[in-house]
Structure 1
């Protein structure tokens, strides 16, 4: 009587299984403490098979960073729907960001903490993702300023209903950097604070940021005081 042969798992499915296990292990244990033995056991495969597919711990970690970065970027892009008012686009993008980071805490730990502190190569992978998101927010802020914004209220309003002004590209980029940095910090806080929902986190950041951005869109900018004269 011949032996029973098990069905071979497709390579893509096997790799996803390994990456799922690696993201969980790296996210919860940290890059330095995580071992290939743990990852293989969690994935239900042998350690040699992990090395066969992904060569080394560094390459496995890089693959995790790239997958989680692409997933987060895709989620934010899907949330920012064209045709909405600028503040509504920002709101939807923030809500998508906080929803994704809340639903994928291990992936967010890899991107926000592990990759940035374990070598320049890993940090560069995250930096590429961050630049893409900052560029998206920069364009949104620049267009909103040009169109004068569009209030996120029941009153409606179309872009162009309010007088706006062109922001210098550097200023729009600086505002985007500040907003993305605040979102990153708030996501880490929200994931560590029981009871804080993605909607609450997005609302908090909108309340913090949009009042100031809204004034800027209307041409009312804050100026620092004149320096004291001798």
Structure 2
């Protein structure tokens, strides 16, 4: 029943999905669907919870703890993109439909995302400790890096799903090329430093000499 519901919700969206269609695809009667789940809202929530748990477990299980930092990130990303590629309807339910049909559904997806971000935060903090050169990255910086990495993975999963021929391995490699070049230097004590730009900060910009009104134009 949940398999059928995920497929219909993923392909039709919450509003267009019908309980009749879900029951027919599941091979059960519509009253039986309502017997187990009181409403369409409850069915949609059950789908979100199941798919959120499956995605989180897939990412956690995919990370190989004994590998160096880049290997752990690589294995986790491959697990993420493999799962989203194999379950496109579930990914659309989580990343597209659940976020746009009410606070109740959006909150369930937000909880899943917070769990994944927390897990990635731990990976980055552990990588910094293992690198020795930056054993104590500021907590806010680690959290920001995790948010950026998860956000990039989500966007790339959408792109990979909509682009013919892109494999999970290719998507993971794309994000590694984008992210690890920077993270690797950061762990090695070579963070990127913004160039000085006097015009970017009014307090540092040189003050032009004033021109008397009589001389102006």
Q: Matched residues in 2 for 1:224 and 1:146: separation?
A: 25
Cα displacement (A) at 1:84: 1.1
- Give the count of matched residue pairs: 200
Cα displacement (A) at 1:205: 0.2
- Choose the corresponding residue for 2:22, options 7, 19, 39: 39
Q: Matched residues in 2 for 1:226 and 1:123: separation?
A: 41
Please show how residues 1-230 of structure 1 align to structure 2 within 5 Å.
Answer: 18-148=1-131, 163-228=133-198, 229-230=204-205
What SS does the aligned partner of 1:177 have? helix
Matched with 1:6 is: none
What SS does the aligned partner of 1:81 have? coil
Whether the 8 Å contact between 1:65 and 1:110 is mirrored in structure 2 is yes
Q: Matched residues in 1 for 2:172 and 2:60: separation?
A: 16
Task: Give TM-score, length-normalised by structure 1.
Answer: 0.85
Over the aligned positions, Cα root-mean-square deviation in angstroms equals 0.9
Cα displacement (A) at 1:120: 0.7
Q: Matched residues in 2 for 1:65 and 1:46: separation?
A: 22
Q: Matched residues in 1 for 2:85 and 2:63: separation?
A: 18
Task: Give TM-score, length-normalised by structure 2.
Answer: 0.90
**Bigger CA radius of gyration:** 2
Unaligned runs of 5+ in 2: 199-203, 206-217
